[in-house]
Amino acid sequence: MLVTTNLKPKLLTISILFCITLTACQHPLTALPQPAPASPFTVSVEVDTSRLQAVDPEEVRDILKGTKVDMVALSPHFNSTASRPDWYEWGRFSNRVSPTSLKIDPTLPPDSIKAYAPRSLDGTTLLLINTTERPAKVSLRLKTGAGFYRMEHLSFTQPPPNPDTKEAVAPQASLLALAGVELPQTGTISRTLTLEAGQVSLVRYTEIGSLTRRAYQTALSHTAKLAYRNASAANRLRAILKEGEPYLIAVSPTRTTKRFASFQRLLLSYSEAQSRIRNYMQQNRVQQEDGKPISDALQQFESGLGEIGGISAGLNAYLRVTKGTDDPTMPNMHAYTAIVTLASGGTKGVQNVTLDIDRKTLPSGVLCVPSEPETFAALAPGQTVRTTFHLRVPMGQEFSSRMCVGDVSYRFSGILLSLFPQSW
């Protein structure tokens, strides 16, 4: 009883203090009510790549008019006579599109989401524009043929004006690599993504199998051109590539049982041909203008094999490059940070993983620390590894994040493959 009697005043005091505190917190001068965040709306977008229709490539200009992110103003050379802007080239806009269908809340304006799907030999790009002040949750469905599909999401968001000058700020661009997909037969690729208010997005689907086959055939066709200047070197390169040609069926999604055995044979052919053409150029037996197209095509072929292997293994590699804080001890250098990431979403692990920056792509004079790649013995399903590289760029040196390319290697099914993630 004594304990109960002694506690009552204390409880009363605490209650009074709590009420005073609560009242103070509710005072309009100390806690202004915050506006409720705009709730997202949902929309479904479907693209059928089996159907094509001809359009004027300039039609995209009309689609972009009135959007919060002024892509036309961002691209002063966006006209029929000058060079196309980077995002236009990246999106592979052409005079062919696939029809799109949208399902959107009938209470919203019909142009709340705009969609446009240009087609090319390499795949389909879906241009999406959110014209509203609310975020949109978009369900994407792409009906397409069999293949290995790389998927990337390039978005442009308009930040608020500069608070000091009230001037418009350039749109912020972000490139995100999405997990790739293997379709063994004609089917549908489904994804869900969020479009922020006023955002302009390009979702690019690239069929890696056909891209890889064309790279191999391109290398062969360039050897035919080389024959006019150096028949001996051209014949040797052609013989090497012809030995690997029967194994190109490995880049077809229907060929699964012997895919990596064929990959091994293709990589032997690639390595020997690449080594020879580089030696020929170093020895001046082949001029740069004749040899470089062959070397570049072979490099693209190697990259394609690595991507197909990565899709089979459930890997997703990406690169993020940002402006860093300049180091006062290096006054003539600008600082950048590059983060290379490899995530495993498959059912089997990979071994001998290395994460690095492709030093060959960096402009002359750019320093990269650490100077060696970081290695990992294995990457299990569900795991993610990343490495941070510090770049120092001399003042006056032209540089952009797109000049930086990641270099990721891994071993899967007994063979060593490579991925080359890029930034924007």
164-195 pLDDT per residue, tens: 777 767 788 999 999 999 999 999 999 999 99
Assign 82 a pLDDT band (cuts: 50, 70, 90).
Answer: low
Residue that wins the pLDDT comparison between 373 and 18: 373
Helix then strand then coil, % of the chain, to nearest 5? 30, 35, 35
Q: Report yes or no: 401 and 420 within 8 Å, Cβ to Cβ.
A: no
State the average pLDDT over residues 147-171: 85
Residue that wins the pLDDT comparison between 11 and 272: 272
Alpha helix ranges (H) inside 227-287: 231-244, 259-282
Global pTM?
A: 0.85
SS3 readout for 376-420 = EEEECCCCEEEEEEEEEEECCCCCCHHHCEEEEEEEECCEEEEEC
State the average pLDDT over residues 252-264: 82
- DSSP for residue 185: S
Count the residues in the chain.
424
| pLDDT, the chain, mean | 87
